[in-house]
A and B are shown apart, each in its own frame.
Chain A
Amino acid sequence: MNHLRQDVIPERYIRNINAISAAEQAQLSEARVGVCGCGGLGLNVINYLARMGVGNITVWDPDVFSESNINRQLLANNKTLGQSKVEECRRYVHEINPDIKMTALPCRWEEGDPIIFNQQQVIIDALDNVPSRLALAEACERASLPMVHGAVGGWYGQVTVIMPGDKILETLYSDLGRSGIEKELGTLSFTAAIIAGLQAAETIKLLLNRKSELCSEICMVDLLDMGMERFKKM
């Protein structure tokens, strides 16, 4: 994205001000965020980040849209069935703001260029399986990158920010190879959108060096009984 002047706000971002300052808006235009997974969570996170004005977004996902994605994935519809998720996402972001540099990588994040991975400021965990999430946390640890974790199942979800040195994901997922309640309950559109919204909010705070309560806490969301509780990690 063309670097924004710190004192001039483009019309498209005028409604971001004063929730964030003009200088912070300019800061976002230079920010770099990597999103692993372009499904229920990832597409919503990217939508929010693009509309906030994050200037550089990289997304990894090898999948194409299938009919079972339509209940919850932002860009899944009759026209996009069989199309690459990351490529559809790139087109969508270009429509929002052509100045955003969107890198669409149709591969698993593990198979991508590690140099691109290491160039990010924040990594978003928008994956859909436990082993890949644990591997991503390890990769972020090695690269000293903060990771914003989100997961959903049915009416329920969880979000936390994992800073280098924080081993919380091993507590959330104690054994490799298992899946969660999503196998029984599926995933609902609004649960994915809400958890993705929380991930996007935490990402923006990290990028702007604002305090993120979820660096030391886990937020558990229950949309059926309408509860949101935060717990200390240690």
Chain B
Amino acid sequence: MQVKVKLFATFRKGRFKEKEMELEDGCTIGWVIDHLRLPRRELGVVFLNGLSAADTKQLQDGDTLSIFPMVGGG
């Protein structure tokens, strides 16, 4: 299946801004996060097709996944 993955802010560094990824069926959001070596301690919010989603959620063909690092300054 194909999933569009969008990375934001510091997660783009050394990776990409947006990419169509070919994934195996049953793949979860968490698998993508680990595959891209996104540090869990820096992980903020994740949106699947524009809705906030847990990393255990299974992806479907045609999904768009947006992954943000945590932002906490003021």
Contact = CB atoms under 8 A, between A and B. Distances in A.
Interface of A: 37, 39-42, 126-130, 133, 150-158, 168, 171-175, 178-182, 184-187, 192, 218, 220, 222, 225, 229, 231-234
A232 B68 CA distance: 14
Nearest to B47: A231
Contact of A180 (B8, B50, B69): B69
A225 B51 CA distance: 22
A157 B52 contact: no
B52 A173 contact: no
26 contacts: A40-B74, A42-B74, A151-B74, A154-B9, A154-B10, A156-B71, A158-B71, A168-B52, A171-B52, A172-B44, A174-B43, A178-B72, A179-B70, A180-B70, A181-B69, A181-B70, A184-B10, A187-B73, A220-B8, A222-B8, A222-B9, A225-B17, A231-B47, A231-B66, A232-B47, A234-B52
A153 B71 contact: yes
Contacts of B8: 156, 220, 222
Contacts of A40: 73-74
Contacts of B9: 153-156, 181, 222
B71 A157 contact: yes
Contact of A41 (B52, B66, B74): B74
Majority secondary structure, A binding face? mixed
Contacts of B50: 231-232
B70 A178 contact: yes
B41 A178 contact: yes
Contacts, number: 96
B44 to A, nearest CB: 6
A208 B41 CA distance: 39
A218 B45 contact: yes
Given A152-B74, A153-B71, A180-B44, 9 more contacts: A127-B74, A156-B71, A173-B44, A178-B72, A181-B70, A187-B73, A231-B66, A232-B47, A234-B51
Contacts of A222: 8-9
B61 interface: no
Contacts of A37: 74
A39 B69 contact: no
Given A178-B41, A222-B8, A151 B71 contact: yes
B51 A181 contact: no
A220 B68 contact: yes
Interface string B17-60: 10000000000000000000000011111010011100000000
